[in-house]
Amino acid sequence: MRIALYQMDCRWEDAAFNRAEAERWIASRRADLFVLPEMFTTGFTMSPDRAAEPCEGETASWLCRMARKTGSAVAGSVAVRCDGEGTDFRNRFFFARPDGDMRFYDKRHLFRMGGEGVHYRPGDERVVVEYRGWRILLQVCYDLRFPVWSRNRNDYDLILYTANWPASRARAWRTLLAARAIENQCYVAGVNRVGEDALASYSGDSVVFDFKGEPIASAEPCEVQSVAAELDREALCAFREKFPAFLDADRFEFVR
């Protein structure tokens, strides 16, 4: 499977502009799966009462259109309003498939230091999407710091992390992405934005790691750029069979 990540500079709370930029990028590339950053239509806004869209709003519809048009899956996170009164806001990671199926994951770990938990409600369900023979775990930004939540239960092959991860913590970003790949014996793709907003500066550092924690594709820091990588499921399965560390993993139950 060929995956493409867009390390974009998101214009603050300008959904139409950001969708148009993403659409131009998608039209210029070929991939089985396109992945966009966290809150790619607005930036990491803490004003969802102003900027959030309905769950089945314009961006959700746009993602479905792009998937049908390209024959590829398109994924990215969006600030959404899940009720008519505007009290249930979510940071929702959509995954649109070309067959019209739409899946989503609501970010579980809300970024306390940025006040995200004050404005949004957390999700409570891990979501694994099946697509073209791959099992894909959806995760958002701060989720990366909580390995129990992403622990591989032999139920996925690839983790997608979509993020607005500040440049000041870029080393943690790359280190933790590699760690998730190694400990879960899976591919990991992390797409992060570049540019600045009222909260932080972002250096991108978008990257794809293989199941040994080796980087196989990465973007230049601080540049709007595309990252593309070929993922080999046969190689992944062969490595797991040869080195089945997951068979010795401690058992646990996640308590909500």
Active site residue 38: yes
* Catalytic, out of 64, 107, 116, 186: 107
**Rounded Cα distance, 119 and 130, in Å:** 31
- Tokens standing for 69? 């048009």
Nearest to 115 by CA among 197, 45, 62, 66: 45
Please tell me which residue in 53, 64, 116, 141 is annotated as part of the active site.
141
Using CB atoms within 10 Å of the CB of residue 120, give its burial: 0 to 12 exposed, 13 to 18 middle, 19+ buried. Answer: buried
Q: Are 89 and 46 in contact (CB under 8 A)?
A: no
* Amino acid at position 24, single letter: R
DSSP state, 111?
Answer: -
Q: DSSP label at 251?
A: P
Asked if 10 is an active-site residue, the reply is no
* Annotation marks residue 186 as catalytic: no
According to DSSP, the residues that pair with 54 across neighbouring strands are 81
Q: Which of 10, 21, 38, 116 is catalytic?
A: 38
| Residues designated catalytic | 38, 107, 141
